[in-house]
Structure 1
Amino acid sequence: MTRRSLSASFSLQRQGSGWQGGRQHSYPESGNDNAAAADLLLNAALARWTASVSPAAMAVAYADWLCHLALSPSKQQHLLLQAADSGQRWLHYVEQALRPGLPGEPQPAIEPLAQDRRFEEAAWQRWPFNAISQGFLLQQQWWHRATSGVRGVSRHHGEVVTFTVRQMLDWLAPSNFIATNPVVLDAVLQSGGACLLNGAQKAAADIWRGIVGTNAGANADAPPAYAPGRNLALTPGTVVLRNHLIELIRYAPATPKVHAAPLLIVPAWIMKYYILDLSPHNSLVRYLVEQGHTVYIISWRNPDAEDRELSMEDYRQQGVMAALDAITAQSGARRINAAGYCLGGTLLAIAAAAMARDGDTRLASVTLLAAQVDFTEPGELSLFVDESEVSFLEAGMWERGYLDTRQMAGAFQLLRSNDLIWSRRLREYLLNLPTIDSDLMAWNADATRMPYRMHSEYLRNLFLRNDLANGRYQAGGRAVALTDIETPFFAVGTLSDHVAPWRSVYKLLLLADADVTFLLTSGGHNAGVVSPPGETGRVYQIATHYEDTAYIDPDSWHACVEQHDGSWWPAWAEWLARQAGPLGDPPPPGPMLGEAPGTYIFQR
């Protein structure tokens, strides 16, 4: 047992069997702490070989699927007929492709999904690659039908099987291999094999960086294309509060007059805060300051093993509440608007509910950006969250004291493996194309850790038990309810969000006893939120559900609400201005503990 493991064991023994906030940990059992520590160490060692995926969870999911498939002869017959039909369609396509003299291209046996761009290059229409790609797409369709719709399989297990089979098929796609990808073969011929040699060097450098955890490798000394303080997070401001968990940044006014109520932004601590202050043209913070708002934002500390006991309650108290107290004291404002992004929005909702319960009336409004308060339908992230998976993940976090950055990044990459894993491998390692740099990609690579206790509480209390939506979540030792919040809400969902699906964000309308303005915009979890005016192809819908009006289900809402072209930022700015009060002189600057973007942003 390592010194770190022994320290974690002693910490766990001191901690006891329960944690605040309603979460009851299964380790250690009374009188059996050493055995519990041994169990955790075993699971932690196994997690390093399985990428923190629980073998037990996978075994149970596949057993559920296989057993019920065996008990469904009609499903088996249907799959056999579909296999025969797919084979016949493929043979017919091959026959057409091999017969010379036919006008036009052979009619495809199957069209790829709208988001599948793997076979869109013209080279895939050549023989035999057209037959290979069509055969793969037909197999992919058959496996989707085989893993879904099996009577008796639990919804979660069915989704796990479907997801893992899809990952396997994405790995085996002909686009990923030199011999079956005509685009790669053409590049090899044109470059004389140099593209493969140079791509292999890139791959080796990336693998080495992953092993040693540094920037060692090719171009290690070259400055990154994007970096905070150089061309990211440039909006002028100062750090006005620093504690163990946060730096609070106040941005300098950009207009002679500002609104009376300042705005506090609570970002998620899964990634760095500057997702909302990217390049100047992509900065939501800069845009808000230019609209006459006094903007404050929380920059979270990147925790390490010493912070293993930080809890969700610590993040509420030392984060949101400490920031509100500082803003009130420094600005003299009696009312404050608050906005939370992703997990930061969930924490803000918890804090707002606790404030309403305790009679704290400082919040003038609450904005939730791609943030969930009900976790019954959290999207594909739920595939990684069940009792077995959480217990397995806890073992790895318990040993280190935190969730490693690569685990979280890997989970998000798997949700979009074609775009974030295999297309990058093809582009950089096989075609030797230059890395595509952008401010958003640079931010995405700047991952953070999460404390063991906080992340475990988050997964168990919110994802597994859905305590916040059910009135069981405790803040300050007492339960909170979203129905206590009387301030108006503004909620933003994004159409292709894999992290916080918009229908899940929409559930706020069922839980709030206040006016809720809901806005649905094009894009995903990050690109949908970073939507500056002037970009083409952006659309959004917006409508207000008043407290005394009848509920409209999300699909009906989506079908009947008018669609607008352009960025959603001006629509929110207009709503926010109504909550922020009249224009007046900027408040006093407050203490200056350093220039923005502060110091916590640079912690690696």
Structure 2
Amino acid sequence: MAEKTDDKGQTGQEFPGFDPKSVEAYVVKDPQALAMNFARALENLGKAASEWLGPRERGEIGDSVADPMTDLVKTLSKVTEYWISDPKRTLEAQTLLFSSYIGIWTRTLNQFSGQYSGQPVASETDTLPKDKRFADDDWMKNPFFALLRQLYLVTASWADKLVNEAEGLDEHTRHKAAFYVKQVTAALSPANFALTNPEVYRETVASNGANLVAGMKMFAEDIAAGGGDLRLRHTDATKFAIGRNMALTPGKVVAQSEVCEVIQYEPSTETVLKRPLLICPPWINKFYILDLNPQKSFIKWCVDQGHTVFVISWVNPDERHAKKDWESYMREGIDFALTTVEKATGERQVNAIGYCVGGTLLAATLAYHAQKKNSRIASATFLTTQVDFTHAGDLKVFVDEEQIAAMEKQMNAVGYLDGSKMATAFNMLRASELIWPYVVSNYLKGKEPMPFDLLYWNSDSTRMGAANHAYYLRNCYLNNTLSKGEMKLAGKTISLKDIKIPVYNLATREDHIAPPKSVFLGSSLFGGPVDFVLTGSGHIAGVVNPPDKQKYQYWTGGKAEGQYEDWLRGAEENRGSWWPHWHAWAEAKDDERVPARKPGGKALNAIADAPGTYVLERV
């Protein structure tokens, strides 16, 4: 009861800090309609279950060789063992948590009594960080939801602290434990459940459960789209098509190998730089991240500055490419493209750009070329590229001998790693941004995601060929052989110190795939001059940052030596995009110009229009 009458006949609130009107939005108005929609939602949930079970019953999906839950339990059990092995430590851990709970309970009682407004007090703001999952006002004002929010944040912080303070863990185990704790706590957030999320609760009451009907229908569709596994939709895919409103820069496929197509783009200037530009993108994603649309296209911008641009478009591998290894990607990818550039332009030397793992392959290729006295690449630009994997970020969680061996067994059975597995791994790196907000919005609120070209590209995943992917994981993430000068490629032991050409090395400040500290450390391994540049934002947005948007900033400074943090403190901040800075760097190496070149020149015939055919293959 929210109101009572005193002995003088006056009516007042039983809980002064609680407004009964605040719960009106949570009171069911039409129980019958709500019950009917719950039944429909359950029917759609049953369809989702059928879509999940069907492929498994037919044998189309087998048990995964690498079970992440097994590794999670095994890893976290080592943390638990430390805290329960000593009764004193166990008591300390329990006391830390329960004392926080008592403080939360006291604040909740004070909120009911009117002594606490629901706004965070100093002690709470000190310990509970701002979190956009709890942006709705009722996470603070409503005592029930405020209690849930505080309990969750305190428990999550406590779990993280247990990992950080557990002694006797090796660095890799601690890293894995911290990552898994972050995944578990992200999944268990009260924001992810209909009855404990005020926005979803209100929407369910207001629509009599129609949101859940739509959400479960979408859930079943996404499992069907994933062939029995959930393919979480991040955008309205019907609004995009490659060649229609994405990857539109005019050009021709002028050569094709088993692992790639080479695209040459039409010039847009009367003269072009004499030295062509070859871009080697990652094969873990598709190249058109650099050509999303005319407004965001790095490729088009380069063409407009007078570069003769060639791009490697990697094949989306299947069982036919199982034995195509790192050397194959060097010879049939980069070397094949260099030969194509020379045939099309008559130029033997090029400027080369490598993005992410494409840059790692480019660096290894340059080291191999140096031993062979091959000087076809005159300058190299690396975009968010790691050549040293000491500080390689959360992706290292998935890489140890046991997990790689399991993955190799799985890949060897079919010839490749399914693209959805890589997509899930990348999404897990930012689960609180790329997984759970979409689960809530799509399946609990029943809202279709908005069209977003970057997220469409992100969902257009690629498979990983067995031999190539195993080589990459073992030599880079697991054993770090490239940085140690121990990588063996085409019968040679290669060293980055042999690379004497000028290098432009770009890192992004908020990168969770190639952390800036990791990229910075790699700069010191090259044997020639290196310009290290840091740009704002992350792995994608920091790179795809057109100058006319005037977004973010970039930092330039002295030599990339010493500690990354020291370099950053002394670096000069510049407004806007790094693109013009890079172009000026490239022109400074060779600014001679020649008449514009048509794709293929006189030696090569066009095979297809850009963006080619390899990029159209979807998983």
1:198 corresponds to which of 214, 218, 226: 214
Helix, strand or coil at the partner of 2:147: helix
Q: Which residue of 1 aligns with 2:261?
A: 247
The residue aligned with 1:11 is none
SS at match of 1:506: helix
- What SS does the aligned partner of 1:427 have? helix
- 1:45-97 CA-to-partner distances (Å, cap 9, x unmatched) read 9x954583356644553343334334566654542332233123212321332
Task: Tell me, yes or no, if structure 1 residue 284 matches structure 2 residue 284.
Answer: no
Give the partner amino acid of 1:374: D
Aligned to 1:538: 552
Residues 53, 534 of structure 1: alpha-carbon distance in 2 compared, 3 angstrom cutoff: farther
Please, which of 209, 215, 239 is the counterpart of residue 225 of structure 1? Answer: 239
Q: Give the aligned partner of residue 184 of structure 1.
A: 200
- Where do residues 33-48 of structure 1 align in structure 2 (5 Å cutoff)? none
Q: 1:141 to 1:572 in 2, by over 3 A?
A: same
Task: After TM superposition, give the deviation of residue 257 of structure 1 in Å.
Answer: 1.0
Question: What residue identity is the alignment partner of 2:546?
Answer: P
Distance between the aligned counterparts of 1:379 and 1:344, measured in 2?
18
Equivalent residue number for residue 146 of structure 1: 162
1:319 aligns with 2:333: yes
Q: 1:446 Cα deviation (Å)?
A: 0.8
Cα distance between partner residues in 1 of 2:442 and 2:326: 40
Q: Do the aligned partners of 1:108 and 1:134 also contact (CA within 8 Å) in 2? A: no
Q: Against the structure 1 CA distance between its residues 300 and 460, is the aligned structure 2 distance closer, same or farther, given a 3 Å change threshold?
A: same
Q: Distance in 2 between matches of 1:572 and 1:490?
A: 8
Matches of residues 370-381 of structure 1 in structure 2 within 5 Å?
370-381=384-395
2:148 equivalent to 1:132? yes
Which letter does structure 1 place at the counterpart of 2:518?
Answer: S
Pair 1:250–1:72, CA change in 2 (3 A): farther
Other structure's SS at 1:597 match: coil
Q: Secondary structure at the match of 2:557?
A: strand
- Tell me the C-alpha RMSD between the 2 structures: 2.5
Q: Label 1:499 to 1:149 Cα distance change in 2 as closer, same or farther (>3 A).
A: same
Q: Equivalences for 1:71-90 in 2 at 5 Å?
A: 71=85, 75-90=89-104
| Preserved CA contact (<8 Å) 1:57 1:388 | no
Q: CA distance change for structure 1 residues 92 and 63 in 2, over 3 Å: closer, same or farther?
A: closer
CA distance in 1, matches of 2:588, 2:381: 13
Deviation at 1:399, TM superposition (A): 1.0
Query: 1: distance between equivalents of 2:118 and 2:572?
Result: 41
Structure 1 residue 149: Cα displacement:
2.4
Instruction: Write the distance in 1 (CA, Å) between the matches of 2:122 and 2:589.
Output: 55
Confirm whether residue 575 of structure 1 aligns to residue 585 of structure 2: yes
Moved more, 183-192 or 488-497: 183-192
Of stretches 304-313 and 195-204 in structure 1, the one that deviates more from structure 2 is 195-204
Q: Relative to 1, partners in 2 of residues 1:312 and 1:421: Cα closer, same or farther, differing over 3 Å?
A: same
Alpha-carbon distance in structure 2 between the residues aligned to 1:422 and 1:89: 29
Deviation at 1:273, TM superposition (A): 0.8
* Aligned mates of 1:420, 1:51 — CA distance in 2: 25
Identity %: 35
Whichever residue aligns with residue 570 of structure 1, its letter is P
- 1:381-400 to structure 2, matched below 5 A, reads 381-400=395-414
> What does residue 487 of structure 1 align with?
501
Match of 1:337 among 338, 343, 351: 351
Provide the rounded CA distance (Å) in 2 between the counterparts of 1:148 and 1:184: 34
**1 CA distance for matches of 2:103 and 2:317?**
55
In the alignment, structure 2 segments of 5+ residues that lack a partner are: 1-58
Q: Is the 8 Å Cα contact of residues 515 and 544 (structure 1) preserved in structure 2?
A: no
Letter in 1 for 2:138: A
Q: What is the deviation of 1:362?
A: 1.6
Deviation at 1:106, TM superposition (A): 4.8
Do the aligned partners of residues 586 and 74 (structure 1) sit closer, same or farther apart at CA in structure 2, a change above 3 Å counting?
farther
Match runs of 1:291-306 below 5 Å: 291-306=305-320
Corresponding residue for residue 585 of structure 1: 595
Offset of residue 162 of structure 1: 1.9
The whole-number CA distance in structure 1 between the counterparts of 2:473 and 2:137 is 45
AA of the residue aligned to 1:159: H
After alignment, is 64-73 or 469-478 more displaced? Answer: 64-73
| C-alpha distance in 2 between matches for 1:441 and 1:60 | 34
Amino acid at match of 1:120: A
Contact 2:556 2:571 in 1 (8 A): yes
Q: 1:560 to 1:527 in 2, by over 3 A?
A: same
Match of 1:555 among 565, 570, 574: 565
Distance 1:475 1:228 in 2: 35
Question: Are the counterparts in 1 of residues 104 and 151 from structure 2 also a CA contact under 8 Å?
Answer: yes
TM-aligned CA deviation for residue 315 of structure 1: 0.3
Does residue 107 of the first structure (1) align with residue 117 of the second (2)?
no
Is the contact made by 1:262 and 1:580 (CA closer than 8 Å) also made in structure 2? no
Answer whether contact 1:255 1:292 (CA < 8 A) is retained: yes
How has the CA–CA distance of structure 1 residues 160 and 48 changed in structure 2, closer, same or farther, with 3 Å as cutoff? farther
Native 8 Å contact 1:270 1:449 kept in 2: yes
Aligned mates of 2:64, 2:88 — CA distance in 1: 35
Is the partner of 2:609 in helix, strand or coil?
coil
Amino acid at match of 1:388: E
1:122 match: 137
Tell me how far 1:189 sits from its aligned partner: 2.4
Cα distance per residue 1:476-533 (max 9 Å; x no partner) = 2111111011111111111221111111111122211211111111222112211112
* CA distance 1:137–1:59, shift in 2 (3 Å): closer
Of 537, 553, 561, the match for 1:523: 537
Q: Which amino acid aligns with 1:381?
A: L
Number of residue-to-residue matches in the alignment: 552
Quickly say closer, same or farther: Cα 1:493–1:109, change in 2 above 3 A.
Answer: same
User: Where does residue 169 of structure 1 map in the other structure?
Assistant: 185
**Whole-angstrom CA distance in 2 between matches of 1:366 and 1:450:** 25
Amino acid of the structure 2 residue aligned with 1:116: D
The equivalent residue for 2:171 is 155
**Residues 325, 468 of structure 2: 8 Å contact kept:** yes
SS at match of 2:549: coil
> After the TM superposition, which residues 60-79 of structure 1 pair with which residues of structure 2 at under 5 Å, given as runs?
60-71=74-85, 75-79=89-93
> Is 2:508–2:539's contact at 8 Å kept on the other side of the alignment?
yes
Assess if the C-alpha contact under 8 Å between 1:75 and 1:150 holds in 2: no
Secondary structure, counterpart of 1:507 in structure 2: helix
d(CA) in 2 for partners of 1:70 and 1:192? Answer: 47
1:357 is displaced (CA, Å) by 1.4
1:196 shift after superposition: 1.6
Deviations 1:187-213 (A, max 9, x none): 122223222211121111112222368
- The structure 2 residue matched to 1:207, chosen from 223, 227, 242, is 223
Is the 1:227–1:442 contact (alpha carbons within 8 Å) kept by the matching residues of 2?
A: no
Which runs of structure 2 are paired with 1:334-373 in the superposition (5 Å)? 334-373=348-387
Deviations 1:271-313 (CA, angstroms, capped at 9, x unpaired): 1110111011111001111111111000011111121111010
- Uncovered stretches (5+) of structure 1, i.e. residues with no partner: 1-44
Is this contact kept in 1: 2:507–2:519, CA < 8 A?
A: yes
Bigger-Rg structure (1/2): 2
Structure 2 residue 146 is the aligned partner of structure 1 residue 96: no
Please state whether the residue corresponding to 2:352 is helix, strand or coil. strand
**Structure 2: how far apart are the matches of 1:323 and 1:431?**
48
Give the distance between the partners of 1:106 and 1:336, measured in 2 at CA.
Answer: 59
Distance 1:251 1:85, change over 3 A: same
Alpha carbons 2:303, 2:309 under 8 Å: kept: yes
Question: Separation in 1 of the partners of 2:572 and 2:129?
Answer: 24
Cα distance between partner residues in 1 of 2:159 and 2:62: 29
Given that 2:554 and 2:575 are in contact with CA atoms closer than 8 Å, whether structure 1 keeps it comes out as yes
Query: Is the alpha carbon distance of 1:85 and 1:296 closer, same or farther for their aligned partners in structure 2, counting shifts above 3 Å?
Result: same
CA distance in 1, matches of 2:572, 2:267: 35
**Matched residues in 1 for 2:272 and 2:522: separation?**
30
Aligned to 1:456: 470
